[in-house]
Amino acid sequence: MSNSSIAFLFPGQGSQAVGMGKELAENHAVARQTFDEADEALGYKLSQLCFEGPEEKLKLTEITQPAILTASVAALRVLQKNELKPDYVAGHSLGEYSAHVAAGTLKFADAVRTVRNRGKYMQEAVPVGAGAMAAILGLTLGKVSEICRDAAQGEVCQPANINSPEQIVISGHAGAVERAMKLAQERGAKKAVSLPVSAPFHCALMQPAQDRLAHDLSVLAFQNPSCPVVCNVDAALITSAEAAREALIRQVTGSVKWDPSVRLLVEKGVSLFVEVGPGKVLWGLMRQIDRSKTCLTVGDEASLQKTLGQLTASHSAGER
């Protein structure tokens, strides 16, 4: 691969905001069509919830997941219309579905219906309030894993998102997560912050959701991806339909290995990362993982134009 490979990164839950995708849909027919397609696939006006809210509704996991996927794919299609193609794709948790749509592994309408169910299953796997998640800042993965083991006391408590050298999110039973937060502070964490999530994602408590989703994914048509996709659960490249399906199943209870996934892309020669979709969460994590790499975002018209300008400039520089 040339040393100027491009990777598209797709955000996960937590990046939603009222108004997401609205500008792109107003300015680009292909983005508008993406929202129309989602409305049709789901049988309700997802587009209206994305553009106008209300926020409480957009925060419901079974709406958040298809909403972020749709806003991300709308942005992706605008980039594709401008003849921009990634060499690699990766997505954070839910974003792995957007990555597979980008690579042609999954049809968009199939992905949108699947993630609505994924959100519903994850929500229903654990009674509200029984589980929790927290971000631990400033401790190594080894230390956080040890804290989780010490805090568990027969309950579930495990690293859920390995986001950057600075930030690891833990997930499990509410009591265990609370004990872990206290231990983390005692053992030198810069901060331990409880997250406003509706369920304890990416831990063993999600097994009922994983079993239900496995059934849905088993009947879905998967293609071999057109470019390698980094899977969260192994931080490894996926190039076949079956491996993609398998990884999306295991991802529900498995931890999101985001930091190792980004490092793998850097190792493969990626020097330019584009966060495609709402928010700037992955851009922020990129600055904690490797500041020497360029990371651009495409979520609205201004960020699109800026990114297109920089990509065109770097492309022509590469051809000189």
Which residues are catalytic, by number?
A: 93, 202
Structure tokens at 94: 């839910």
Please identify which residue in the block is written with the tokens 């804290």.
147
Which residues lie below 8 Å from residue 314, measured CB to CB, with a gap of 6+? 4, 272
DSSP H or E stretch at residue 192 = strand 191-194
Pair of tokens at residue 204: 């063993």
Spatial distance between the Cα atoms of 93 and 116, rounded to a whole number of angstroms:
14
Other beta carbons less than 10 A from residue 220's beta carbon: 14
In the chain, which ranges are continuous DSSP H helix? 22-27, 29-42, 46-52, 55-58, 61-81, 95-102, 108-125, 141-152, 174-186, 207-218, 241-250, 258-267, 281-289, 301-319
Contact 293, 270 (CB under 8 A): yes
**Do residues 38 and 47 lie in contact, with contact meaning Cβ atoms separated by under 8 Å?**
yes
DSSP secondary structure letter of residue 24: H
Mention every residue, 6+ apart, whose C-beta is less than 8 A from residue 151.
157, 176, 177, 179, 180, 183
54 upstream amide cis, omega within 30 of 0: yes
Measure the CA–CA gap between 141 and 255, rounded to whole angstroms: 12
Q: What is the DSSP letter of 256?
A: B
Contact indicator for 7, 86 with CB cutoff of 8 Å: yes
CA nearest 247: which of 261, 237, 259, 262?
Answer: 237
What tokens does 63 get? Answer: 């709406």
